[in-house]
Structure 1
Amino acid sequence: MSHSSQSTSGQVPGKELYESLTALLGEGKVSLAGDVLDTHSIDKWFASHRPDIVVFAESTADVSKVLGFANERKIPVTTRGAGVGYVGGCVPMRGGIVLSTARMNRILEIRTEDGVAIVQPGVITGDLQAAVRQLGWDYPPDPASLKECSIGGNIATNAGGPRCLKYGVTRSYVLGLEVVLADGRVMRCGGSLHKNKTGFDLIGLFVGSEGMLGIVTEITARLIPKPKSRGMLAAVFPDFPTAAKTVQAILQAGHLPSALEVTDAFTLAAARKKLGAEVFPPGDGHLIMEIDGRPAAVASELEELQDLLKSCGAGEIRIAREDAECEKIWQLRREFSYSLRDTGLTKLNEDIVVPRGKLVELVNFARDLEKETGIAVACFGHAGDGNIHTNLMVEDYLDPVIRERADAALDKLFTWVLSHGGAITGEHGVGLAKKPWIRQALGEVSFGVHREIKTTLDPNGILNPGKFLDE
């Protein structure tokens, strides 16, 4: 999939689009510049396709006008947040309009008395977290890219992160949405209430819909009181199975960490090569866990967990009791992805999910797949909820021969995951990357229902076309 200026919006050339949209929205919101088109042709995956034009919406009214205009003319519209997705979800495969929400980046209200924040979709997730924490509150979802990803993108994919184990994914923190439908109508669902059972769960329908059912223009997010204290433990184990079994022991003993992360031998080797052998003591399995709550409770639980880890076979155990120490451990965790990239291989980052009891089976399968295909596989991630990032490390995914071999390996991985009760994505979404497996993942009846919902809300098929619901 290469850069292309060819469009299937067909009837409306770029210059005419520019003039029409500028007249509709005003100056400074529409661009035909080559560098802008290139930037908006990609995300973090390898696929790219140039749009015909980019619109920088600044309000709900702008979005409504654009969709009304595009729907009448059947012009494709692909919504883009910060563009840091991993599955090609915002690549405009049919050309047309890319509608950027980057300028809709205001935190409109923080109402601690109601436990809510009202934000526009372009707000960076980390900025919202920082703003509410200054007030003693918290917005828990914490995708690894939180310093650069937007709330709107999190909504599109129902983003997760390490703290999902205790606090849940993005959906758990969305109380209300303002959504512009494909024909330009503006709909509100939910609101500022923490409990509301009125009508269907339309919020749940749009969270995770990957821009195919409507465009979110305002989010009412649920906040929780910020925990007063936190602490962390990092432990090295002789092998991955021992680390994975320890995950079960921690939970069976009644502990519920806010995060519980596991790492395999391949990833540890890459991290030692990048950061220095002394950073991680010898061992082929690694666990990181974070706990939070009242100070006395955290201190007591850290001691309990240290004893438990020792009894489970941990070697060196590192304990962090202060925020600065905790951040140092998290920084090591964040280095895993960069360490894998430094191997010089292309990292196909697959966010598969398996039942928690099958973690050892998954890594054993990954080792067998590695031997069978000659493609290295690195596993690390959110052990507490079974969402293990299984990274196929290939020489050059743009090489057609290598890509064919890698895709065959992906097929084996996804087939194994689905046959063991798992899912092909836990937080990145389907997009283009996982499109070939969507029918197998959903089943024919469920896939058909997805298509019927899409047809009802977007009868002309203008919203993010070319993705997993299209043939």
Structure 2
Amino acid sequence: MSTLYQDLSALLPDGQVSVAEQDLEVHSIDKWHASAPPQVVVFARSTEDVEKVMKYANEHEVPVYTRGAGVGYVGGCVPVQGGIALSVAKMDEILEINTGDGVAVVQPGVITGHVQAAAREKGWYYPPDPASLKECSIGGNIATNAGGPRCLKYGVTKQYILGVTVVTATGEVLKLGGRCHKNKTGFDLTTLMCGSEGMLGVVTEAILRIIPHPETRGMLGASFVDFSAAAAAVQAILDSGVLPSALEITDAFTLAAARDYLGEDALPPGDAYLMVEIDGKVDSVQKELASLQAFLKELGALRINEAPDEAACEEIWQLRRDFSYSLKHTGLTKLNEDVVVPRSKLVDLVNYARKLQEDTGIDVACFGHAGDGNIHTNLMVKDYSDPETKEKADNALDLLFNWVLDHGGAITGEHGVGLAKKRWIGKALGGPVMDAHCAIKAALDPKGILNPGKFLD
């Protein structure tokens, strides 16, 4: 056995350190294509465990790659320099749901959907809802500042993190923020940890803001002749003074794949589909649904499906989830991108995607969060493991990301940078901003042991 394994085994209880082939393999990947094995896997169960690991790693300059559920899309937790894969997946307790304070206190390995369910049992709500909420963890959500369809109305993860316990690269335990819903004491280091992608510290506990759960929700699914008409409807809805909890849009390529997978009658005719969700009191939701339905007809909707209650809403959301399965059913590999543009550029983005498809011969599927401009612009390739196909796809991504940046957008809205978007981070941030990132990193991780090899290197 290696010295690293022996040393860590001496520091931690039995069974928490592994060099088993299966554990090394599982912790070498996420949902992106990159793979690199760690030297050892540590299954932390407490803040004290993490503290011991980080003090050892800092002293011996061993790389540490923190991992939650491992369902990221950018290689963010892949241990590219070996070292320690520090799993917090077994730190999975919901420690408290306190409606009096409006907080949930959780460990980082808790699955996001479990937090939502626990809050809902008490009539309260944890709104962040990434598509992978049934399998992603709170720690990973904090690392990437995860979003989801309902962030249009409710905001992304950072709006719900009141406090965190963080173990630094040197093994110090920081208690940042707290249970107060307002707190202007010093720098906002709590928010700094949101989106830090495992490079500034290891979150071992989080205090989440929860809010009263809306009484009910309702949805409309509206088809339009084309994407431009649906995008115009998005802006018209917002201009009318309505703030939906979610506004999702889908393009012609995705709809064609869905009809092939689910059946021709599963979706109404048209080359664009808009999903509008609203929530609130029962009476107000019913009135607003009726008003929105009439409004969408005026805007040229071809057909409108109404979902007036929770069960019917789930049917429409299931359709949204099925879009990903439909794209997989094509037999092509989906390069799952999460670019963002100013909302006024939605049509421009999809028009550019069509042009990119024509110029490169690579199919492009666009769907996602129309309300905030976060459209998943997915390249559909035959075999990404083939070097020639990969080079062609990477060149197409280069064109896409540069177009997005040149039009005031961002290369990632939810998934993070990780390894997948490392190539474009210099242009995305700019020199002075990159320098500021590096200065913060050096202050909190002087030996550069936390998640090395990613976008700051």
TM-score, length basis structure 2: 0.99
Picking from 340, 345, 364, the partner of 2:332 is 345
Residue 201 (1) aligns with residue 188 (2): yes
Distance 1:350 1:280 in 2: 24
**Alignment match, 2:90:** 103
SS of 2:91's equivalent? coil
| 1:309-320 equivalent positions in 2, closer than 5 A | 309-320=296-307
CA deviation digits over 1:318-342, x for unaligned, max 9?
0111111110100000011111111
Picking from 55, 58, 68, the partner of 2:45 is 58
Letter in 2 for 1:214: G
SS of 1:36's equivalent? helix
Residue 405 (1) aligns with residue 385 (2): no
Letter in 1 for 2:444: L
| 1:111-150 equivalent positions in 2, closer than 5 A | 111-150=98-137
SS of 1:350's equivalent? coil
Residue 244 (1) aligns with residue 231 (2): yes
Distance 1:360 1:27 in 2: 57
**Alignment match, 2:4:** 17
Shift of 1:17: 1.5
Shift of 1:282: 1.3
CA deviation digits over 1:172-197, x for unaligned, max 9?
00000100000100001100000000
Percent of pairs identical after alignment?
Answer: 67
Distance 1:164 1:61 in 2: 34
Shift of 1:134: 0.6
**Alignment match, 1:155:** 142
Letter in 2 for 1:356: R
Shift of 1:99: 0.2
SS of 1:117's equivalent? strand
Picking from 122, 137, 160, the partner of 1:173 is 160
CA deviation digits over 1:65-86, x for unaligned, max 9?
0000010000000000000000
Picking from 34, 37, 55, the partner of 2:24 is 37
CA deviation digits over 1:40-94, x for unaligned, max 9?
0000000000000000000000000000001000000000000000000000000
Letter in 2 for 1:37: L
CA deviation digits over 1:415-455, x for unaligned, max 9?
00001100000010000000000010001100111011111
SS of 1:377's equivalent? strand
SS of 2:38's equivalent? coil
| 1:329-408 equivalent positions in 2, closer than 5 A | 329-408=316-395
SS of 1:196's equivalent? coil
**Alignment match, 1:445:** 432
Picking from 270, 277, 280, the partner of 2:267 is 280
Distance 2:296 2:411 in 1: 31
Give RMSD over aligned pairs: 0.6
Letter in 1 for 2:241: G
Distance 1:94 1:289 in 2: 45
Shift of 1:19: 1.4
Shift of 1:22: 1.1
Picking from 298, 303, 308, the partner of 2:290 is 303
Distance 1:440 1:202 in 2: 25
Shift of 1:205: 0.9
Letter in 2 for 1:364: N
CA deviation digits over 1:286-311, x for unaligned, max 9?
00011000111101100110011101
Distance 1:21 1:417 in 2: 45
Residue 428 (1) aligns with residue 415 (2): yes
Shift of 1:251: 0.3
Runs of 4+ more than 6 Å apart: none
**Alignment match, 1:416:** 403
Residue 67 (1) aligns with residue 87 (2): no
Distance 2:41 2:325 in 1: 31
Gaps of 5+ in 2: none
Shift of 1:15: 2.2
Residue 183 (1) aligns with residue 167 (2): no
Distance 2:84 2:200 in 1: 16
Distance 1:215 1:334 in 2: 31
Letter in 1 for 2:266: V
Between the two proteins, the alignment pairs up a number of residues equal to 457
Distance 2:430 2:134 in 1: 36
Picking from 234, 243, 246, the partner of 1:256 is 243
**Alignment match, 1:11:** none
Letter in 2 for 1:379: C
TM-score, length basis structure 1: 0.97
Letter in 1 for 2:64: V
